[in-house]
Amino acid sequence: DWIPVKLEKKYRFDFSPNGIDLQSFPYNIWRKLSKEILLDDRSELFKSGNVQGEEELRYVIQNYLHQARGVKCDIDQIVVGAGNEYLLMLLEIILGKDHTIAFENPTYKQAYRLFENLSYDVQTVDVDKHGIQIDKLQESSANLAYVMPSHQYPLGIVMPIKRRLELLKWAEESENRYIIEDDYDSEFRYKGKPIPALQGYDVNDKVIYLGTFSRAVAPAIRISYMVLPKSLITSYQQKCGYLSCTVPKIDQFIVKEFIEQGHFERHLNKMRALYKSRHDVLVSQLKSLSHVCHITGEHAGVHLLLHFNGNCTEKEMIELAKERGIKVYGLSEYYVDGHYQKDIVILLGYANMNEKDIVQAIQLLKEAWKEI
């Protein structure tokens, strides 16, 4: 029998917190670099290369991380891979399964699910306004902590230095404790000076650092990197030394040239200005809703949070927005274990919306939510 397919409702505007502006992708530069790399008949580009990623790219990453994020490492500590998920799977091989890992709650569900499916004992630790609560982490049985100190996803918290030092102290207390630092959206900050990565403060070889070019350039640029503590390099070489690098050499050399020739820095500056403009328009438009909600998480990243004190439920607010053709996201879906939320929180991402669309969409949201 013929069964009608229910089509997903088409939205006019989507405030996706994971969006990025692909209209600004540097097509001409990328095309030019690709041509230059393939200009000569370089057969070595089509051979499988260094398992950790090409040395030339790792030198460039090392230099970039030191200058931009305060990360201290040698190139033999850097492992290049196709996306953070792949690198986390490598990490599971390096560390073995006999670990309990703590995630912030709410958290980045992708990484949480990955470790859960890798049969790790996964726990959650609540966050406060400064990030993961160290006393609650101490009370847990975890010896690994997965954190996003530069821009906690989804809450947008930037962990202050005092809390970072407390977290490092927790890791130092036991030999088999490690911190996995996901440096999520660290490139985009709108208030105050950027705080260096947690890894830069680590003097006891306890931080496993994760970064990616996917957020700053494009999701399809599947180039992420992991900086291993020196104490884990031997384990990596013994257990993963036979695995080929998952990023094609051609792509590695394009990214290497893109950074080395200054295009990456220029692109980042352009995107920062673009996102800052959209951020400012959104914050300005939301002022007229200040009697029913307040904003948090607006100082970094490409999304913010609206905390409501109305009588509606989160689900009702999402439905009201949907009726006007607008997709918004509830904070509840980022919590693990059905965590109770006393206030209603909606996430609004603005990376893939221009200023005109933001103004239109917020006008429609005001109409949708006027009764709350």
Band (pLDDT 50/70/90 cuts) for residue 7 is very low
Give yes or no for residue 254 having a pLDDT over 90: yes
Q: How confident is the model at residue 84 (pLDDT cuts 50, 70, 90)?
A: very high
Please check the confidence at residue 37 and state whether its pLDDT lies above 80. Answer: yes
Each residue's pLDDT tens digit, 221-240 = 889 999 999 999 999 999 99
Annotate 185-224 with DSSP letters as a single string.
TTT-B-SSPPPPPGGGG-SSS-EEEEEESTTTT-TT---E
Query: Which range has the worst mean pLDDT, 42-46, 127-131, 283-287, 359-363?
Result: 42-46
- Mean pLDDT lowest for which of 103-117, 184-198, 252-266, 281-295? 184-198
pLDDT band at residue 339 under the 50/70/90 scheme? low
> Binning pLDDT at 50, 70 and 90, where does residue 372 land?
low
> Using CA of residue 260, residue 182, residue 76, residue 245, what is the dihedral sign?
negative
Tell which residue, 67, 46, 102, 16, has the closest CA to residue 260: 67
Name 356's Cβ contacts closer than 8 Å, sequence gap at least 6.
none
Tell me how far apart the alpha carbons of residues 157 and 318 are, in angstroms, rounded to a whole number.
Answer: 23
Question: Cβ distance 224 to 184 under 8 Å?
Answer: no
Looking at residue 278, what is its pLDDT? Answer: 95
Buried b (16+ CB within 10 A) or exposed e, 281-318: bbeebbeebeebbebebbbbbbbbbbbbeeebebeebb
Parallel, antiparallel or unpaired: strands 100-105 and 144-147: parallel
Q: Is 80 exceeded by the pLDDT of residue 48?
A: no
In this predicted model, which residue has the larger pLDDT, 201 or 97? 201
pTM for the full predicted model? 0.92
Q: What pLDDT, on the 0 to 100 scale, is given for residue 4?
A: 53
User: Residue 174's pLDDT is what?
Assistant: 93
> Model confidence at 371, in pLDDT bands (50, 70, 90)?
low
Average pLDDT over residues 41-57: 84
Question: Picking from 87-101, 166-180, 292-306, which range would have the lowest pLDDT averaged per residue?
Answer: 292-306
